Structure 1
């Protein structure tokens, strides 16, 4: 069906470049959501709902009896200044949560995800005489802030769309352009974001004996936290504990009264995550006590995402279609240390899911770096100012999305679990949305 359906590549490329030029921060994707909704008017028979959990959008096509398959694409950008040199590079900027104007960039490929989803919709829409069932395309905001999927679920997603029998999603990554990677089991880590506030006692910088210096304490905590993975966890278990931000003081002659640390932690197994978090709390509290702090440290958990754990049946259904269509370009996926909120959606429906990746690095660039053994140095990764999908991969991501959806429509899924209803589905984890540093919608067409 995919091979026999024409894809308007000029439209697809133009659409991608348009999204790429104007990335918007998590929670502030007003223009992007409007542009997606405008494009969805091409598909007159699809039931479109906008404004779900902020700027979330769904499009549903019912085409007779059969399975219900959901495909998700995210569309927020990042506060990164683009450095790719292409003529469609972003020069856009927005106000961040602190009221500062920052450059924005699609440094994670969400523009490619969105364009490919719309391209896949065009293939599925044009070939509806060859399949039966229901297809749901879900366009999700605020993935980078880890709150977009939660918000859509908490805003009634389960009552807006039919329950999917299976959920699908994909992500572009550094890799030889056009290679498609799939695997069953855990493929992305869980993510735990922790904000730690250390409370000392301020004083004049010339009188440190009158202070409990939170800067020195923060330095001690940072160094001690390096032992969590190396000394607290079994050597064979994967874990990352990164102190990504340290903030303390604003003047050179003042010892501040507090310091703030932001931690990003990644795991594949929940038992390892629990053990690591317990160790982090114990170390921080002990260091604070040793420093003479009179107030206990505060811990705020700003984001908690489960690991992305692909369903073996969904993999077994989709992988043969990828192998047949892409041939040697269909590869086994190695676990990725990034995290995603995609799985929040299938968990809300108690549905199996599959999440795969597609390589987007120009082949000459990849082979040159590989020959020089400089892949980690010369190949821009997601969130890097130089990250840019090769335009030749847009049809690949589009075809992969369409293939997976159409393949899942031919499979007999178990159906709705006993006792499940929109009111009794798995609830999304509560997240303190106000604590997540997200953008304000304070931009204009003139930016």
Structure 2
């Protein structure tokens, strides 16, 4: 039958959530366990096994080892849309400095061979716990909705490679292509709040690997070649300002140097200097223009310095612009407003980036991405994501995240209003 207006649906969905929400102590324990035992990007094997174990206990169809340690569980529950809900598995190479009794003291050898301290400083542990809680809620309330739900746990989000890796590894040969995708993220706002918006939500992030070549030079002592270090340093110091002047200072553009390396011990001259750029933009047309201008400026500066070879500039997409489709975000926003009332607020556009949208890019799957708060308002200043002091309060954060995920799915799957 025709779906009724979703604003009036909020009270019906409230009844479902309140009646079938699982005992959250189980998920609080999961959160503490994973927080204390984090795993770095690309190495999330134990975390993935814990997630898969829980999903199997609910008798879902579970697929593991996708694109690394990715996990996807499918619950077929009659005709209707297929809704994919995502959480992330990985932690960060940060030393935790909280006073939590379940704080992480863990260290790992990362995939680059470096020993690092590890911490869930971004909230992926809470995102996982909330999605697992929502999976149990939807299973218990199965007779109240119809369709297919997919619970996807993505590896390697922090280095923004995991979503594409899952797709490239045949994700959609294992699970249905969804009609709708949903994701949420913990942020340092008031615990219990949710925030969603339509349109652009997160920036696009690209990287540029640049090599400035100073030698060798034909017929010249290598020490008389161009020193690439000052050439590269001058480019890095001036690049953002020059790009903004050319593209337009009214445009939202940032260019940061995330790495610089030149020279080897024992060499008597420097053959090249390498640096890595992080580039953030909010418009596709500006993104393309910025790439063109960066390449041209670097080439011009090398020509001015008389380098013996042209620079090598290679661009790669870290994360596309995250833009919520109104057909998904607006119905969810109305349900959130009816359910969370004053705790449902407008999401602010943020300079964080995400690869979530890549999960459905090939199939143009519409999606919504929102934030939920995890901080006590008494803290000043409030530790942000990626801070060694990031320590969300477990409740009401976990309940809000669980309810939000379940509500968002039920917005499109619930069968009727009573």
Alignment match of 1:62 (pick from 50, 55, 76)? 76
CA contact (8 A) 2:161 2:318 kept: no
1: CA distance, partners of 2:79 / 2:110? 46
Cα distance, 1:312 vs structure 2: 0.5
Cα distance, 1:190 vs structure 2: 1.0
TM-score w.r.t. length of structure 1:
0.84
Secondary structure, aligned partner of 2:356: coil
CA contact (8 A) 2:144 2:415 kept: no
Alignment match of 1:294 (pick from 305, 308, 312)? 308
- C-alpha distance 338-218 of structure 1, shift in aligned 2 (>3 A): same
Cα distance, 1:350 vs structure 2: 2.1
Secondary structure, aligned partner of 2:160: coil
Cα distance, 1:239 vs structure 2: 1.5
2: CA distance, partners of 1:221 / 1:288? 9
CA contact (8 A) 1:197 1:258 kept: yes
Cα distance, 1:411 vs structure 2: 8.6
2: CA distance, partners of 1:261 / 1:84? 33
1:53-87, Cα deviation, whole Å (9 max, x unpaired): 11111111111122211101111111111111211
1:13 corresponds to 2:28: yes
- C-alpha distance 216-122 of structure 1, shift in aligned 2 (>3 A): same
Structure 1 segment 158-237 matched on structure 2, within 5 A: 158-201=172-215, 210-237=224-251
1: CA distance, partners of 2:266 / 2:190? 49
Secondary structure, aligned partner of 1:289: helix
Which residue of 2 is the match for residue 339 of structure 1? 353
CA contact (8 A) 1:65 1:132 kept: yes
1:394-437, Cα deviation, whole Å (9 max, x unpaired): 1111111111111121499xxxxxxxxxxxxxxxxxxxxxxxxx
Misfit runs of 4+, over 6 Å: none
2: CA distance, partners of 1:223 / 1:246? 12
Cα distance, 1:18 vs structure 2: 0.9
1:31 corresponds to 2:46: yes
1:132 corresponds to 2:136: no
2: CA distance, partners of 1:351 / 1:14? 34
1: CA distance, partners of 2:201 / 2:83? 21
- C-alpha distance 95-264 of structure 1, shift in aligned 2 (>3 A): same
1:341-361, Cα deviation, whole Å (9 max, x unpaired): 100112233221000011222
Which residue of 1 is the match for residue 118 of structure 2? 104
- C-alpha distance 151-389 of structure 1, shift in aligned 2 (>3 A): same
Cα distance, 1:225 vs structure 2: 0.5
Which residue of 1 is the match for residue 159 of structure 2? 145
CA contact (8 A) 2:318 2:355 kept: no
Structure 1 segment 393-432 matched on structure 2, within 5 A: 393-410=397-414
1:126-172, Cα deviation, whole Å (9 max, x unpaired): 11111111111111101112211111111111221122111100111
1:91 corresponds to 2:95: no
CA contact (8 A) 1:196 1:262 kept: yes
- C-alpha distance 345-52 of structure 1, shift in aligned 2 (>3 A): same
Which residue of 2 is the match for residue 323 of structure 1? 337
Moved more, 117-126 or 244-253: 244-253
TM-score w.r.t. length of structure 2:
0.90
Secondary structure, aligned partner of 2:150: strand
Secondary structure, aligned partner of 2:256: strand
Structure 1 segment 341-356 matched on structure 2, within 5 A: 341-356=355-370
- C-alpha distance 380-252 of structure 1, shift in aligned 2 (>3 A): farther
- C-alpha distance 329-254 of structure 1, shift in aligned 2 (>3 A): farther
Secondary structure, aligned partner of 2:371: strand
CA contact (8 A) 1:201 1:211 kept: yes
2: CA distance, partners of 1:359 / 1:12? 17
2: CA distance, partners of 1:237 / 1:389? 34
2: CA distance, partners of 1:20 / 1:229? 41
CA contact (8 A) 1:23 1:104 kept: yes
1: CA distance, partners of 2:415 / 2:270? 62
Structure 1 segment 110-125 matched on structure 2, within 5 A: 110-125=124-139
Cα distance, 1:182 vs structure 2: 0.3
CA contact (8 A) 1:202 1:255 kept: no
1: CA distance, partners of 2:132 / 2:360? 21
2: CA distance, partners of 1:410 / 1:237? 42
Cα distance, 1:254 vs structure 2: 5.1
Which residue of 2 is the match for residue 437 of structure 1? none
Structure 1 segment 344-383 matched on structure 2, within 5 A: 344-365=358-379, 369=380, 378-383=381-386
Moved more, 265-274 or 95-104: 95-104
1:391 corresponds to 2:394: yes
Cα distance, 1:234 vs structure 2: 2.2
1: CA distance, partners of 2:128 / 2:399? 13
